Amino acid sequence: MTRHAESDAGVARASVLLEVGRIEAARREIAAVLAGDPDNVEALYVLARSYQAEDEFAAMQDAAARAVAVAPGQHEGHLLLAFAQIGVEDPTAARASALETIRLAPEDWRGYAALALASLNLGQPRRAFRTIKRAVGLAPESAGPHYIRALMFHSIGWNLFASRSYRRALALDPEHKAALTGLGRVAATRGWLAAAAGHVSAVLAAEPTNHAARTELDRVVIGGFVGWAMMSVWTAGFFGMFAMLPWMWLLALLPPALWLLLAARTWRALSPGARVYAEHVVRTDIRARVRLFGLALCALTAAGLIINALRQDPDRPPSAAMAVVMVAHFLTLIVSAAAFVTVDRKVSGPPPPAPGSSSGPGTSPAGASPAGVRQAAASGPAPSTFAQPRATDLLAEQREGSHAGRWAMRLARAGALFAVVPLLVSADPPAPWPSRAIVGTIALAGFLGYGAWSRRRLILRPGRQNAALGMLLGPLTLAALVELVAIALAAVLPSSAMPLPEIVAVPAVLATCAGLVAWLGWLLFAGARGLARLALNSRQDSSHRL
C-alpha cells in the first residue's frame, strides 16, 4: 500500500472513531498520519473537529489555521477556523473567515451560520438574523440552520421564536439531541419544569453522558425541586404574618400546595433513570444540600411567624417577638440566596474574563456557545465521552444575561436621575401642563439618548460576566420601564389638575428612590476605589524615586 493510500485509510479510521466518540483514539490515528504527511489537509480537518468535539477552541484554531495555510482555496478550513475563532471569542476574525467561506462556497449554509454567529457577537443582531435567514433558505430541509437560528433567538431572550425553531429542527431530525436539550432549557427558564424534565429525560435516555442535558436536569432538580420548595415555604411564612386576619392562614397554605402539585407533575415526567439520578443529586450535591438547609431555616421562621401571628390582636401593633421573627424571616431569604450563589459559583468555577469584543446588551454569548459552534460546523451532533463527569453550571443562564442586565442596571440608575424632576412637577398638586411638557420632553430625550449611548459603549466594553446581574435583569428592566412611563406621562397628561395615577406614581417613586440609592452607593465605591488607586500610585512613585 502506498503512503498516500495509508494516509487516506488512517484519516478514514479517525473519522469513524470521532463519530462514535472515541476522540483520543481518533487523535492517535491523525497523529500517525501527520507524522508521515504533515500537510494532509483532510487529517488537519479531522484534528480540528476532534478538538471541537471537546470545546478546545484554541487548539482547534491552530489546527484549522494549519489547514488554511496548506489549502487556502478550500472552504472547509476557513469554516472550521471561523467557528474556532467564535469559540475563542474573536468575532472580528471569525467574520472575516466566514466571509471567505461564503466566497469559496456560496451554497454552503454553514458559512452563513458562522457569519450570523460572528455578527451577533459583534453586537449586530439585525445583520445576524438576516444572515441566518439566508442559511435557512439555502437548506430549509436541514435541521442545522433551524437549530442555529433557535440558539440565536434564545440568546436574546426570544424564547417563543426559539421554541418554534427548535421544534422545526426536531421535525426535520427527530434524533437531534441538541435541539431537544434546547427545548428543555427554554422550558426550565420559563419555569415549566414538567416539560423540561420530559425533554431532558428523553435526551439522557439516548445519550447518558450528554453534559448539556445533565446541566438542564440539575437545574430542574436543584433549582426546581429544592429551590422552589424553599421559595414556597418562605412565601407561606410571608402570608403567615397576616394569619391573625380571617382566612389568611389558608392563603399561607397555597404556595406549598402549588409546589407539591408542580413537583408531582415534574417527578412523573422524569424517566426512571432520571429519577434515580435526581435522588442522588438531592442526597449528595452540595448545591442541593445548601438549599435544603435554607429550606429548613425558612420552614422554622415561617412556622414562628404563623404561630406568633395567630396570637396577635389584629387591632394592635405587632409584639416584639413577632418583629424579631419577621426580621429573621427576611434575613433568612437574603442569607440563603447569597449562600446559593456562592456555592453555585464555587462548583461551576469563576466566570470567564470579558473578551475585547463580545456581545453587547440584548445579546449574550449563547449565540456563540460551544453547542452552537459545534452543531453549526458539523453535520450532526458530535458525541463526546466523559471519564469524569464535569460539574454542571447552574449560573450559565444568568451569566449569559449579564450584559443585558448591566445595561438595564445603568438604565434604571440613570432613569432615577431623569425621573426626579418630572415626578416632582407631577405630584399633587401638579404644575401647569406646559411646564410639565417641557420638563418631561427634556427628560425623555435625555433618558433615550443615554440608553442609546450606553448600549454602544457596552458593545465596545462589555465588562465581566456577572450572574447577579443576570438574575436581576427582570426587576431592573421593569424599574427602567416604570421610570420611562412616568417621564412620558408627565409630559403628555394635558390636565393641570391631573397628577400621575397612583398605579404609575407609586412604583415610579420606589424605582427612583432605589436608583438614587444605587447612585450614591456607586459614587461612594468609585470614590473609595479612586482614592485607593491614587494612594497606590503615589506609593509606587515614591519607591521609584528612592
* Model pLDDT for residues 404-445, shown as the tens digit of each residue: 788 888 999 888 889 888 888 877 777 787 888 888 899 999
Highest mean pLDDT among 305-309, 358-362, 491-495: 305-309
> Which pLDDT band holds residue 376 (cuts at 50, 70, 90)?
low
Distance of alpha carbon 517 from alpha carbon 233, whole angstroms:
30
User: How distant is the alpha carbon of residue 322 from its chain centre?
Assistant: 39
Cβ contact 420:512 at 8 Å: yes
Among 109-123, 163-177, 496-510, 518-532, where is mean pLDDT lowest? Answer: 496-510
Residue 298 pLDDT:
92
Q: What is the largest CA-CA distance in the chain?
A: 98
Q: What are phi and psi for residue 55, nearest 5 degrees?
A: 60, 30
Looking at the predicted structure, is the pLDDT value of residue 225 above 60? yes
Q: What is the pLDDT of residue 364?
A: 37
d(CA 227, CA 235): 12
- SS3 for 297-332, per residue? HHHHHHHHHHHHHHCCCCCCCCCHHHHHHHHHHHHH
User: How much is the average pLDDT of 96-118?
Assistant: 92
pTM as predicted: 0.72
Averaged pLDDT of the chain: 82
User: Which residues, 6 or more positions from 251, have their beta carbon under 8 angstroms from its beta carbon?
Assistant: 239, 242
Distances in Å between the alpha carbon of 87 and those of 118, 475, 477?
A: 10, 31, 29
Instruction: Tell me what pLDDT residue 358 has.
Output: 35
pLDDT at 461: 74
Residue-wise pLDDT tens digits, 77-100: 999 999 999 988 888 999 999 999
Question: Mean per-residue pLDDT for 150-156?
Answer: 86
Residue 76 vs residue 525, higher pLDDT:
76
State residue 387's pLDDT score: 38
Say what the pLDDT of residue 538 is: 75
**Cα–Cα distance between 364 and 400 in angstroms, integer?**
5
**Quick one: pLDDT band at residue 531, thresholds 50, 70, 90?**
confident
Judge whether 308 and 241 are in contact, CB under 8 Å.
no
Q: What is the band of 384 on the pLDDT scale with cuts at 50, 70, 90? A: very low
**325-343 pLDDT tens trace:** 889 999 998 999 889 888 8
Confidence of residue 164 (pLDDT cuts 50, 70, 90): very high
